[in-house]
Amino acid sequence: DAKTTQPPSMDCAEGRAANLPCNHSTISGNEYVYWYRQIHSQGPQYIIHGLKNNETNEMASLIITEDRKSSTLILPHATLRDTAVYYCIVRVVNQGGKLIFGQGTELSVKP
């Protein structure tokens, strides 16, 4: 299964866009990119996922490069409640849908 690389930590000012990068250079053609986040003392929460095209929902936008070797999660107007660990995960589609988590990026949104 493909692995991902994320920066261990990032800071973002409240109200500004938070752009979280992820490298997945060995991703296979049928593997999706998923983003989850984990707020302190809670279980991980699904944010968004995509295969090739850019995706947007009420929480965030996902930009996937054309070669699919990297992606960026964008939180358009970060709030203090967005402070969390963000996980970029490549979905092992042919193994029953399990998610393999990496270390994630700890995002701190500051006033």
Binding residues for other proteins, rule: CB under 8 A, are: 32, 34, 41-46, 49, 85, 87, 91, 93-104
Q: What angle do CA 48, 43, 99 make, to 5 degrees?
A: 55
Residue 12 CB, shortest distance to other proteins, in Å, is 21
Q: Residue 58 contacts by C-beta under 8 Å, 6 or more apart in sequence?
A: none
State how far the Cα of 66 lies from the Cα of 84, in Å rounded to an integer: 28
Instruction: Closer to other proteins by CB, 97 or 111: give it.
Output: 97
Instruction: Closer to other proteins by CB, 14 or 44: give it.
Output: 44
Residue 91 CB, shortest distance to other proteins, in Å, is 7
State how far the Cα of 18 lies from the Cα of 11, in Å rounded to an integer: 8
Instruction: Closer to other proteins by CB, 42 or 111: give it.
Output: 42
